[in-house]
Structures are given as structure tokens and as C-alpha cells.
């Protein structure tokens, strides 16, 4: 049985297609201003890539902040549930998830069956999210893809004390004018984000093993900072960015009658 999941985030839209729990393919695109169109484009693009006909897909679950804009979806499910289902499929022994998305960050505690036992979410402030890192990269005039490796070259991470994105950006600009190295500033930014996410994780008493999901999981500098703060090794799947879409497709399989 073939099912699909579409995860529409604030920055990127992801699609995944499964056949009986096996990942046939995934696709990522930018969300832009029209979430519904982004979901359709990424899904149909993946279908074409895999050579599948729309009639072969038995159910589609949408998730993410734009989940209700996917009018052709069989059902819309919250991203917390979908991330849990995705992580459990990719690594059944996972007990916790840390997900850092474009506009929020989440810590999720799982039961043995992969269902959500508890979660905490930061969705009121951009600090500690992918958007925060984007703003900081722009202030430092460095490509976001280079952020992680650059911070690993730091010898003395700068101290970023502001918890607000706007104030933190001003603080970074002050550090630049003071002559602090770019590497030390980036390392300080990662330390700041790691501290916020760790506080979130401790609210739900996350347990090892922990999987990190979301596009930010590709940032080795932040992953390293988080591991130090948590004193835990994070599991990073090659499918980290599309984990929510994979979970949505897995949930879709369970709703087919």
C-alpha cells in the first residue's frame, strides 16, 4: 500500500511517499507565500520523480503549520504526532525527539510504542529556531550552510545573553564592531540556542536515546553544542529534515480502511 505525507513548514515544505513502511522517496521545496501551492508542487514533483500515478496513493496526511491548506489530503494531523511517528519508524528504540524548525522548537517524550507521552514547544518567540539562525547568519554575512563548520573553529565562544531575536542581533552587531571573530560569535549563538532548547527538553524529562529532527539537524555546530548541554549523543537520521512528512505518510497507512 502506498501512502503520502506532506509537511508544510514556515520555510520549507516536505513530501514523503511510503510503501508499507518503506520510504520510496522524499522531496523538499520552499514554502513561499502560498502554502497550499507549495504542498501541491512538492507532492506532485515527488510523484513524477517516482513515476507514480495519483490513483496509486491510498491516503495522504498533511502536517505542519500549513497542514489545513492541503485540500486534497485525506486528513490533517499535528506535527508533534507526525514527528513521533516518523522517528519511531526510522529508529524504533527512540525515546525522545528534539525538533528545531523554522518558527518553533519542540521536545517530545515518546512511549515504547512511539506515541507521544509529553511535549514542550517554543512557538511564541523566534529565539532558538531556524529563523533565529537565519537572522544571525545575515548579520554576520555568512551562508547558513557554513554556520556549523565555522563554529567548530572557535577557541572562545562569545556570550550572547539576549533571549529576543531583535536584541540578540544587536548584541551580535556590537560583538562584530568590538572585533570578536566570526567563529567565536557563531559558537556563542549556538551555545545560546542550545541553552534554550535544553531548558525545553528538561521540561519533559527527555530520555536517551534522543533523535534530532528538522532541517537544523544538519548544523553540526548546533548539534555539538546541544550534545554538550544535554550530555547525550544525538541520533541524526539522513531523513531528519523530512521526518515529519515521513511520519505523516506512516500515519496515513493506519487510516486506510
Q: What is the pLDDT of residue 163?
A: 66
Evaluate if pTM is beyond 0.75: yes
**Average pLDDT of the residues in 45-56:** 96
Q: What would the pLDDT profile of 70-106 be if each residue is shown by its tens digit?
A: 999 999 999 999 999 999 999 999 999 999 887 889 9
What's domain 1-91+239-257's superfamily in CATH?
ATPase, nucleotide binding domain (3.30.420.40)
Residue 257: the pLDDT is 38
* Mean confidence (pLDDT) of the chain: 91
Q: Is the pLDDT of residue 127 over 70?
A: no
The yes-or-no verdict on residue 164 having pLDDT over 80 is no
Higher pLDDT residue, 227 or 170?
227
DSSP assignment of 105-160: EEEEEE-TTS-EEEEEEE-S-STTSHHHHHHHHHHTT--GGGHHHHHTT-SSPPP-
Tally Cβ neighbours within 10 Å of residue 236.
14
User: Which fold, 94-236?
Assistant: Nucleotidyltransferase; domain 5 (3.30.420)
Domain residue spans of the chain: 1-91+239-257, 94-236
Answer yes or no: same fold for 1-91+239-257 and 94-236: yes
Mean pLDDT of 128-135: 81
Tens-digit pLDDT profile for residues 7-27: 999 889 999 999 999 999 999
Per-residue burial over 186-213, b = 16 or more CB atoms within 10 Å of its CB, e = otherwise: bbbbbbbbbbbbbebbeebebeeebbbb
Selection from 104, 114, 78, 102 nearest residue 211 by Cα: 114
Place 126 in a pLDDT band, splitting at 50, 70 and 90.
low
Distance CA 60, CA 73 (A): 5
How many residues would you count in the chain?
257
CA distances from 69 to 13, 66, 195, 247 (A): 12, 6, 34, 18
Confidence band of 59 (pLDDT split at 50, 70, 90) = very high
Distance CA 240, CA 100 (A): 10
Query: pLDDT value at position 124?
Result: 62
Amino acid at each position: 500500500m502506498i501512502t503520502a505525507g506532506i509537511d508544510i513548514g514556515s520555510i520549507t515544505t516536505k513530501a514523503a511517499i511510503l510503501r508499507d513502511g518503506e520510504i520510496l522517496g522524499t522531496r523538499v521545496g520552499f514554502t513561499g507565500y502560498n502554502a497550499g501551492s507549495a504542498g501541491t508542487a512538492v507532492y506532485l514533483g515527488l510523484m513524477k520523480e517516482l513515476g507514480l500515478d495519483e490513483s496509486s496513493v491510498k491516503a495522504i496526511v498533511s502536517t505542519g503549520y500549513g497542514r489545513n491548506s492541503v485540500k486534497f489530503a485525506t486528513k490533517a494531523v499535528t506535527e508533534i504526532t507526525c514527528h513521533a511517528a516518523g522517528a519511531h519508524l526510522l529508529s524504533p528504540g527512540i525515546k525522545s525527539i528534539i525538533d528545531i524548525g523554522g518558527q518553533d522548537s519542540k521536545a517530545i517524550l515518546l512511549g515504547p510504542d512511539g506515541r507521544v507521552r509529553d511535549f514542550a514547544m517554543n512557538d511564541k518567540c523566534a529565539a532558538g529556531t531556524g529563523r533565529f539562525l537565519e537572522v544571525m547568519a545575515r548579520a554576520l554575512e555568512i551562508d547558513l550552510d557554513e554556520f556549523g563548520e565555522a563554529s567548530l573553529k572557535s577557541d572562545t565562544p562569545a556570550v550572547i545573553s539576549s533571549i529576543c531575536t531583535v536584541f540578540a542581533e544587536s548584541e551580535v552587531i556590537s560583538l562584530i564592531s568590538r572585533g570578536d571573530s566570526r567563529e567565536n560569535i557563531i559558537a556563542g549563538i549556538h551555545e545560546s540556542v542550545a541553552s534554550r532548547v535544553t531548558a525545553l527538553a528538561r521540561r519533559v524529562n527527555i530520555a536517551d536515546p534522543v533523535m534530532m529532527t528538522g532541517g537544523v539537524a544538519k548544523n553540526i555546530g548546533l548539534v555539538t553544542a546541544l550534545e554538550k548541554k544535554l550530555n547525550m549523543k544525538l541520533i541524526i537520521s539522513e531523513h531528519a529534515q523530512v521526518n515529519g512528512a515521513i511520519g505523516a505518510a506512516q500515519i496515513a497507512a493506519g487510516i486506510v480502511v
